[in-house]
Amino acid sequence: MFKLSDYNKGISRPEVYLYLISLFFLILLAFGKFDRYPIMGQLGLAVNLEDYKILYPNLIFEEAYLSSEYFPGVSYIIYFFRLFLPDFLIIEVMLILSILIAVFYFYLIKKIIKEIFSKDITFENYWLLALVISMWLCRDWVFYVITLKSDILAFSLIFYAFLLGKPHLVGENRNYFKLFFGLIIIAYAITIKQQAVSLLLAILIYSLLNKNLFFKFYSLLILSIVFGIFYLFYQNENLWFHTILRYIEDGFLSLNQILRIFYKDFILLFLFGIFLAFSSYHKLCNINFNEKLIFLAKNIKSNLWFYLIISFALTGIISGIKVGGNTGNTQLSLILLFPFIYIFLYDFKKTLLMFFVSGLLILEIPNIIHNTNKYIQAKKFQNTAISLIKEDNIKILSDKETFFASFLVKKNNTLISYDTLRMLNDFIYNNVSQDSYNRKILNYGYDYIFLAKYRFTEDLLTEYGYKKVYENKLGLIFRKT
């Protein structure tokens, strides 16, 4: 399935340099995200699994270890890597893996486009358009995906399972090993992210509209697997609370809130529309909108990919407009629609696309410098934590933003999560006063505190006998005197 020849057809040397620079920039951007919650939450689950043989912490203050908002699938990967990689490098490895997952997604989308659009379609502009859409219209999605936010991994694995087994194709010679392996992949994908369950909507509608008996049977197997996994997760009280129950009452944003959060996205889409109109008018691209739209409309009923893509994209939109949502979720929907975007826009002048990618990379330079400096600060923070804490059997309080350093000194010590404590306070103990909540935490008498700068006031920490022993841009370390 993977062929090197797929990537070197019609690629010029300047284009290769552009891809290498893009990859290098993505790595630098990712390395500046040590303090981001998606990867820290899953790392916390992996640490819990090793130390306490549980994933999600119990719902009591004394055992409020770091948790995650997402299903635990990614934590299994981290747990595996920690078996043979030093903790000091595990975050870099996982951030690079995040980038490779994004590349893997676009590789699969290329295969899907070939299956959707049976007519002649060229791919010489594929990776350039992927970069343009990602860096122009979906910048916030890039921000999340390079920190191991697991949506795209779950969706990619489901795409791969169907590409591998091809249960939807009539008259296809069945490879039952690939079909069985596809079910295993889908099962794992469901454990990665809650939104992967939207797969059921896609296969249900496709099964009702098509007379493919084998696919109906395969869908029943998928349905059984999904319900089995959710039942197992439901039986785990801690997992179910941390990933489902605490969000079940979240409402939706008001129209004013949606406009305030997403107005930049609307502006970028408008500017992109002007760019397309200008390019089409000056014959820099050949969109041929009506012909391609008619072709897609005629083939929707028998096209499984349409139902999968739309079902997954809907989860991004719903997540984006719920309370706590963000533009990264809605931009995920746009990225999921990339197969259809490419079908309409593939016939572009390559030099124009290369010019735009170059411009987007140049605009990214300030962020590259900023994130490189953050990475240096993160490694200094880690080194300080290791050199500072040599004791055993001590209690450490840390938040997600500083967990990248505090987990390095976790061995033989107790590491409590500020974020889990706050969540327990909000959902179980219902203490409304922030000051009384902070004082309740400090009454537990931690030996060291690792926190981002906005968590506690230094006056309050001093009142409780803590002295600041280290500070940089990513946070502070306090020691009990």
396 and 358 part of one domain = no
Longest dimension (CA), the chain: 75
Distances in whole angstroms, Cα of residue 437 to Cα of each of 46, 252, 444: 28, 28, 12
With respect to residue 60, please indicate whether it lies within any of the assigned structural domains: no
User: Could you tell me the pTM of the whole model?
Assistant: 0.93
Same structural domain, 165 and 218 = yes
Same domain, 255 and 354: yes
| Same-domain check for residues 91 and 27 | yes
- Amino acid at site 228: G
Q: Is residue 375 part of a domain?
A: no
**Are 400 and 322 in the same domain?**
no
CA distance 186 to 156: 10
Are 164 and 266 in a shared domain?
yes
The Cβ of residue 471 has, within 10 Å, a number of other Cβ atoms equal to 14
Shared domain for 267 and 125, answered yes or no, is yes
Q: How many helices (H) and strands (E) does the chain have?
A: 22, 5
Q: How many CB atoms neighbour CB 448 within 10 A?
A: 23
Token representation of residue 71: 């299903």
Question: In total, how many domains does the chain have?
Answer: 2
Domain CATH code at residue 404: 3.40.190
Question: Within a domain: residue 64?
Answer: no
Do 458 and 347 belong to one domain? no
For residue 254, the enclosing domain spans: 4-31+85-363
* Cα-trace Rg, the chain: 24
**Does residue 109 sit in the same domain as residue 188?**
yes
- Tokens for 300, please give them: 């929707």
Clarify whether residues 186 and 285 are in a common domain.
Answer: yes
pLDDT of residue 324: 77
Asked whether residue 397 is domain-assigned, the answer is: yes
On whether residue 253 sits in a domain, the answer given is yes
Question: 399 and 351 in one domain?
Answer: no
239 with 120, same domain: the answer is yes
Please report, in tens digits, the pLDDT of each residue of the chain (481 residues total): 444 444 455 678 889 999 999 999 999 999 999 888 889 999 999 999 999 999 999 988 888 999 999 999 999 999 999 999 999 999 999 999 999 999 999 999 999 999 888 667 889 999 999 999 999 999 999 999 999 889 999 999 999 999 999 999 887 788 999 999 999 999 999 999 999 999 999 999 999 998 889 999 999 999 999 999 999 999 999 999 999 998 887 788 888 988 888 999 999 999 999 999 998 888 888 887 787 788 778 778 788 999 999 999 999 999 888 887 788 899 999 999 999 999 889 888 999 999 999 999 999 999 999 999 999 999 999 999 999 998 899 999 999 999 999 999 998 899 999 999 888 888 776 666 777 888 888 888 899 999 987 788 888 999 999 999 999 999 999 999 8
The verdict on residue 290 lying in a domain is yes
Task: Return the residue matching tokens 């980038």.
Answer: 99
**The predicted structure's pLDDT at residue 2:** 43
In a domain, 190, yes or no: yes
Listing DSSP states for 409-474 in one string gives: G-TTSEEEEHHHHHHHIIIII----HHHHHHHHHTT--SEEEE-TTSS-HHHHHHTTEEEEEEETT
In the three-class reduction of DSSP (H, G, I as helix; E, B as strand; rest coil), residue 250 is classed as coil
The answer to whether residue 71 is domain-embedded is: no
